Each structure stands twice: as structure tokens, then as C-alpha cells.
Amino acid sequence: MEPVFMIGTQRSGSNLLRLMLNQLNDIASPHPPHILERMFPLMSGYGDLNNDGNFNVLVDDVCRLVELNPVEWSGVSFDRASIAAQATERSLMAVYNAVYDVYAEAQNAKTWCCKSLANIKYIEEIKNYYKHPKFIYLYRDGRDVALSFQKAVVGEKHIYNIAKDWADTQNLALNLKASVSAKYFHSISYEELTQNPEKSAKALCAFLGAKYVPEMLDFHKTKEAKNAAQSSELWGNVTSPILTNNSKKYKKEMSEEDVRIFESVAGTMLDCLGYERDFVTIGSEQKFEKTDIDSFNMQNKKQKMVNMSKVDEEDKKRRERQSKLLDEIKSRSAA
């Protein structure tokens, strides 16, 4: 089995789907430390990876990033020498692959799924390294995504910024869909997943070549779900059964002004994914001037600070562990 990559935008049910996949014997699906997203921007600081010392530092940093993940990867330890030996080339992709392979082996799984949705930004690197990677594209009505982001500690906060990021990400995913064979790409909406979970799970298993098990729907009873929920309020829902009434909440909770902004910015992508617009018809989208966008960006920045100030102290400490490591790597590179 080829490795599996989940792509899309956060706040779309990816933690729910990860835990469902983790119930399959053939697939290991740990909580993501976002290796590619966090490490690729820092790679220039490692110098020539053909140098053993430089490569071993990279291996150690990637392993530390995983070990400091807010949700622990249980049942596995990372021997640096073994990871380095298992890497098929001197690259971040090879180290990343070795780390996930070691975890899958520890779980007696045939392959693994990486839930880091930001991997959509590194599709070319993934396609160049793997022969036939599989992609699960998980998407959700962007207006509900926006509502969720506005409440969460992560992500953008102003409706304009969320809409722009959401539309850009869906566009990347749909471009990827158009470029690969259907046998390597599976699309699933949050609405389908929550309204028809068994049907959705069976279709997903058929795509993956894995045997469906009813335990997929009991994900919320697992130790992995409990660990995730205890690590952050972001994932508090995963210890509950699937929420079947968690769609179209924006209709009651989002202002008409915000819906209009979202549909003006991302209406075309809503159309592409089959979501009906509420207010802004095709061709009547509002155009935003630079002064408008500057104001949105300022409000976005302020709200991020407000949301961060409300984070539970223990949650904040768990997040800071990885941040401190990344700061250490940056400082080392600067020195």
C-alpha cells in the first residue's frame, strides 16, 4: 500500500477522519507534527546534507519535532541512527518518510496516513518522492469552516482572510485532482462524512484497498481520541459520536455582512464544490480596495491575539514545546 496524504483546510473534520482511519489494522494515522510545513522553510540552514554531520542534525531535529508533538505518538521510539539508515536519500522527504515508516511498523500497519492538511503546499515534493501516493481530499462548506476558525486558537480570524485562504487551498486541491488518476485521489465532504458515516467509510476503505471494520465509527471510544481531546480544546469533539447536526451553522451564527464578504471572495469555489450561495449571485461580487484589505488584516491580527490570550495554559505549554525547537533551529542557522 502506498502512503496516504489528507489534504484540505483545517476545521473540516480531519481529526474525526484521522481517528476513523486509525481504527483500520492496515493504516497508522498519528496526530500530525506538521513536519513538511515546519521544516521545509528551514532547510537552507542545514547546508550540504551529503555531510554526515549536517544530515544527522536534520534527523535529530525531525525526531525531536515529533517527540514534542502536543499529542504523543505512543508505542514507538526513534533511534536516530536507524532513521538515518532507513532514509533512502539525503533529503527532508526521506527523513519524513522514514519517521512515518517506523511508526507504522511499530503499529504493525502496512502503511500510514499523514493528516497534515498543509501538505497541499508540498504536492510537487510528495509526487517527486513517492511513485503513487494516495490523496484524500476532505472539504467542507467554507462558511462553516470560517465560523469554526473564528472561535479557534489556530488560523485566520477575519472573514476576508479565512475566505481567501480557504479558496486558495481548495483551488490547489482541485488542480491536483485534475492532474492525477482517480485511483489515487478520493474526495469526501464533511457533510457526507457526518450524514452518512458508514457509507462514507466504506467508500474510503474501497479507495484505500483496506477492509472496512465497524469499529471505524467507534473512534470516539479510543485512547487516541481521549489523548487528542485532553491535549487541546480544538479537538474536544473527538470523544463524542459523530455530530450529525454540525452543518450550516453559519446560517444562524454568522452575520449577513460576513456571509456576503465570504461569498464575494470565495463564491466561485463554493460553486465548484456544489455549495449554494445565500446572498451574492455570480457577477455581483463585491470588490475590495487596498484600504479595505488593510483594515481586514489589522482586525485579523488583533483577533488572533485575543483568541491566543484565551488559550488554556497547559495547552499553550504543549504548543510552545515545538515552537521553542523551531526557534532553536532558526537561531542555530543564523549563528
**pLDDT value, residue 124:** 97
DSSP H stretches of helix in the chain: 14-21, 35-39, 52-67, 80-86, 92-106, 123-129, 142-151, 159-179, 190-195, 197-208, 223-231, 250-253, 256-272, 290-309, 313-334
Q: Is the pLDDT of residue 202 over 80?
A: yes
Domains, the chain, ordered by start: 4-324 (3.40.50.300)
**Once rounded to an integer, what is the mean pLDDT over residues 250-275?**
98
pLDDT digits (tens, 9 = 90+) for 68-105: 999 999 999 999 999 999 999 999 999 999 999 999 99
Which residue would you say has higher pLDDT here, 47 or 236?
47
Residues 7-33: tens digit of each pLDDT = 999 999 999 999 999 999 999 999 999
Confidence class for position 1, pLDDT limits 50, 70, 90: low
pLDDT digits (tens, 9 = 90+) for 282-325: 999 999 999 999 999 999 999 999 998 888 888 888 889 999 99
- What is the Cα–Cα distance from 187 to 185, expressed in whole angstroms? 7
Give me the pLDDT at residue 310, please.
85
Which pLDDT tens digit goes with each residue over 62-74? 999 999 999 999 9
Q: What's the chain's average pLDDT?
A: 96
The answer to whether residue 201 scores a pLDDT higher than 80 is yes
- pLDDT exceeds 70 at position 166: yes
